[in-house]
Structure 1
Amino acid sequence: MEQNAWIHEQLQHLFTNTDDYNRRTLIKAAQDLIREQEKRIYQMEGEIEGTIWSPKRWGE
């Protein structure tokens, strides 16, 4: 997930270079949201792969 590495870097740069509490909170929430999306994508990819290799579910 190279695109996410870039956005994580940019958000971290913004986070460290601002003193405004509201902006820092928003940036932190964006970072958390992106991490959660990455985790869910990884989980769904694993579920898809597991379904592909499971003979029990081939007939569905």
Structure 2
Amino acid sequence: MQATAFTYSPDSRSGSVLLDDGTAVPFDAAAFDAGGLRLLRVGQRVRIETEGDGPRRRITLVTLQTF
């Protein structure tokens, strides 16, 4: 699934993304580390993997979207 980086804290390696429908979904350091990224800029397009649905949805991986 694709999203846009919305917030990011390099200190905690956590933040949130905006899904294409405008829903903000937070991610933790484990999801950031799983993608192998070193940093993330707000506004970058990212690819995410999630598990769960609705309010229990959580991001398990954040990586850069490549074409």
What range is the shorter-chain TM-score in?
under 0.3
- Whichever structure has more helix as a proportion of its residues is 1
Q: TM-score, normalised by structure 1?
A: 0.22
Q: TM-score, normalised by structure 2?
A: 0.21
Q: Which has the higher contact order (CA 8 A, sep 6+)?
A: 2
- Whichever structure has more strand as a proportion of its residues is 2
User: Which is higher, the Rg of structure 1 or of structure 2?
Assistant: 1
